[in-house]
Chain A
Amino acid sequence: MSPDPVKLSAAEAIERIAAGDLDAGALFSAYRERIERHDGELGAFLWRAGDAPAATDGPLRGVPLAVKDLFCTEGVPTTAGSRILEGHKPLYTSTAVHRLAAAGAPMIGKTNMDEFAMGSSNENSGYGIVRNPWDPERVPGGSSGGSAAAVAAGLAPWAIGTDTGGSIRQPAALCGIVGLKPTYGAVSRYGMVAFASSLDQCGPLTRTVTDAALLLKHLVGHDACDSTSLGLPEEVRTPARSDLAGLRFGVPSELGSSAEGVEEGVGRTFDATLELIEKLGGELVEVGLPHARHGIAAYYLIAPAEASSNLARYDGVRFGHRAGNGTLLDLYEKTRAEGFGDEVKRRIMLGTFALSAGYYDAYYGRAQRVRTKIADDFRTAFESCDLIVTPTSPTVAFKLGERTDNPLAMYLSDYCTVPMSLAGIPAVSIPAGLAPAADGSGPERGLPVGFQIAGPAFSENLILDAAHALEQAIGFDVTGALL
């Protein structure tokens, strides 16, 4: 008897389809039915595809893909989680979605997200919350919360999201799946609704490291439509390593298990994973990232500054929501007041302030210098190690509503992921185990803990190899939260 196709990883599904043991259309329909049945309670999807598309002979064999709702899709609503784009149908398709469709991964739905990717809990969506499939009273993380929850709950075999300061890695960690942020420039940003252009990067959210490599392989490449896109210098390989011999893993004290704000359970799981690295033949090296603790400060100046500029386009003139019937200024101000949610307004205000006359040098200018120091720290650290490891999130999934009244507490969710974003380097989060919440609440079995592995720019193959070896040794059950 063949196993439930929904429990197969995407790579396994591709193999079975290629061998004629599984029908791609039936797989699409099975996921489609699951979305219909379960997404009412989860809230992961903002748009759902209709019938299964025609068969494809592309290398991804028709295995369906969930797409964060900030990738433009021609003729298909694209809202970026914002009411200001309600009903908006783009005139073109993003390069990432186009490339994956061409490789044979049809879109099964568009996923919920924090508005304009600003958030770490998915509670800032203009279209409702997303629940964590491990505990429906908790957040899935954000901003790619819908993509992470959909994959963890088995409503999609894999998904793409975007990561600006942790928006792929943190929700992947909180939902117990794999999430990869590639090197800045590895994947084209063309057709991605812009948040912070110097940081935004598209990447996969999957149940296995092999699936992440497979999606990445078909995502990367230079694109004439994005002059910052570079691709990767070598082809993405299928990760095969089962040991870590010869690899040096840097453990930064600033972002380790004893760092401020890291929950005891998260710290314990992190330390246990370090032991596992040694058992697999890897060497642990102490490294310093002395400026990493300033990452959040620099990030929350640079990202809002870029956002305040990028979001100037939502003015009620060319597309999207329009309000006001007085003068042009009245139209701008009312359209934006009605269309944007609280967090987006907060960041536009913060960014506009940081760029305004008299404050530019003290805030934005300084933040860009701190960014240089953080990137230098990584460069120095990588002289004595091959990879750097940290917890992905200082805490397990927190309760819905717990941090909504405290923006700073929410921002600190990104403490361990923001430094890599500022440095433009790749990092993956893999599920390392289950741990209880700090206050002992939540399900008895615990909640997922993510383990982050970062490497120098363009080291995706090495990161994925190491992640694969660890994944095999950890043996985390990624079907543990299937609805």
Chain B
Amino acid sequence: MIDRDQVLHVARLARLRVSDDEIERMSRELSTVLDHIEKISELDLDGVPPTSHVIEVENVLRPDEPRDSLPPERALEGAPDATPAGFRVPTPGQ
């Protein structure tokens, strides 16, 4: 069960603004899905290692050779707001 306060807490962590309607709906829908998911708490998983990668691979290394990267003006092409020096954002202050 995920209540209203938890929805608000998680939404803040996820940087999502949620409306009152959405809070109520998300609480209901996420609770239904989590009820199903809770079934895995019945399993005995003692000593079972978590999967880190499905196909066994050793560290993959490549030669550390310098190569061209995107020029700044190209990298800024899709920016909603750019200056020649970078991406412009509002103040992080309150």
Contacts and interface: CB of A to CB of B under 8 A. Distances in A.
Nearest to A348: B14
Interface stretch (A27-35, A272-280, A325-333, A460-468): A325-333
Query: Contact residue range for chain B?
Result: 35 or more
Contacts of A228: 53, 57, 60
A369 interface: yes
A183 B30 contact: no
Contact of A298 (B14, B40, B52, B77): B40
A97 interface: no
A375 interface: yes
B84 to A, nearest CB: 15
Contacts of A56: none
B33 A407 contact: yes
Contact of A328 (B18, B37, B90): B90
Contacts of A256: none
B70 to A, nearest CB: 6
Contacts of A373: 43, 45, 48
A297 B43 CA distance: 12
Query: Contact residue range for chain A?
Result: 35 or more
A297 B36 contact: yes
B57 A230 contact: yes
Contact of B16 (A91, A337, A365, A369): A337
A327 B15 contact: no
B40 A350 contact: no
A61 B14 CA distance: 47
A327 B90 contact: yes
Contacts of B87: 317-318
Nearest to B79: A318
Interface in B46-80: 48-55, 57, 60, 62, 70, 74-75, 77-80
Given A350-B30, A373-B45, A320 B78 contact: yes
A249 interface: no
A224 B62 contact: yes
A185 B54 CA distance: 9
Interface in A391-436: 407-408, 411, 422-424
A373 B43 CA distance: 10
B10 A375 contact: no
Interface string A304-324: 000010001001111111101
B83 interface: no
Contact of B7 (A297, A321, A349, A375): A349
Prevailing SS type, chain A contact patch: helix
A356 to B, nearest CB: 6
B4 to A, nearest CB: 13
Among B7, B33, B51, the most chain A Cβ lie within 10 Å of the Cβ of: B51
B13 interface: yes
B92 A327 contact: yes
A158 interface: no
A327 B17 CA distance: 14
Contacts of B43: 291, 294, 366, 370, 373
Contacts of A224: 62
A371 B7 contact: no
B14 A349 contact: yes
Contacts of A337: 16-18
B15 A332 contact: yes
Given A328-B89, A349-B26, A366 B51 contact: no
Given A198-B53, A368-B51, A328 B91 contact: yes
Contacts of B49: 369, 372
A367 B6 contact: no
A38 interface: no
B91 A327 contact: yes
Contacts of B17: 333-334, 336-337
A196 to B, nearest CB: 12
Interface of A: 88-89, 91, 183-185, 198, 224, 227-228, 230, 291, 294, 296-298, 300-301, 308, 312, 315-322, 324-334, 336-337, 340, 345-346, 348-350, 352-353, 356, 362-363, 365-373, 375, 407-408, 411, 422-424, 457
Given A372-B48, A407-B33, 8 more contacts: A317-B79, A317-B87, A319-B79, A327-B91, A336-B15, A352-B10, A369-B49, A375-B54
